[in-house]
Amino acid sequence: VPAVHRTALGYESPEAIDTELFLDHLAALRGGRSVAPPRFCFSTHRRHSVEATVEPRPILLVEGVLLLYDPRVRALLDLSIFLDVPDPVRVSRASRRDASQDEHSRRSGLEVYDAIARGIHARYVEPTKAFADLVLLNAGRLDRAAEVAATVILDRVERRARGTAA
């Protein structure tokens, strides 16, 4: 994507994601093969040249605001959890993230959120909540949501080990 369009597009829109590469990597990990996914730089809105290898594991935790957007990705997930974060919390987190990684002021982060991210969330992220196996409210601290998620995941793993339906 040309530099002039990268910021306007928003890195949380489906067009900014290399879904084909993500699908290849997710399938490889599920198949027991290592991958080297690209890393993203928030200040340049581009990939870093440095890649870190991700090794396959019995349990793969995959996260991302657009994780449930593509039906092909959803088909590769054994369990999906949607963290439902209220708008004021998203604004606060986005502002802190942008200010620290982009060296923008807090005000600039809020302007970017208002201009781009809020609309992207409403258009692409919020509707995917319907595809989640579990929706957890995250209005602040993650402790309780993480505890519930861990319990559900462990239950799923135990049932799979026993050979019962998940």
Q: What is the pLDDT of residue 101?
A: 56
Domain range for residue 136?
3-162
Q: What is the pLDDT of residue 51?
A: 73
Q: What is the pLDDT of residue 28?
A: 97
Rounded CA-CA distance 112/95 in Å is: 9
DSSP letter for 128, please.
Answer: G
Alpha helix positions (H), 3-63: 3-9, 19-30
Kind of pairing between the strands at 46-51 and 38-41: antiparallel
- Count of domains in the chain? 1
Q: What is the pLDDT of residue 115?
A: 64
Q: What angle do CA 6, 19, 154 make, to 5 degrees?
A: 120
Per-residue pLDDT of the chain in tens (166 residues, 90 and over written 9)? 555 554 555 556 787 788 999 999 999 999 999 999 988 776 666 777 767 899 999 899 999 989 999 999 999 999 999 999 888 887 777 666 665 655 555 556 666 666 677 888 899 999 999 999 999 988 877 888 899 999 999 999 999 889 876 5
Q: Which residues pair with 51 in a beta bridge?
A: 38
Q: What is the pLDDT of residue 57?
A: 93
CATH label of the domain that carries residue 60 = 3.40.50.300
Centroid of chain to Cα 81: 11
Assess contact for 59 and 153: CB atoms under 8 A: yes
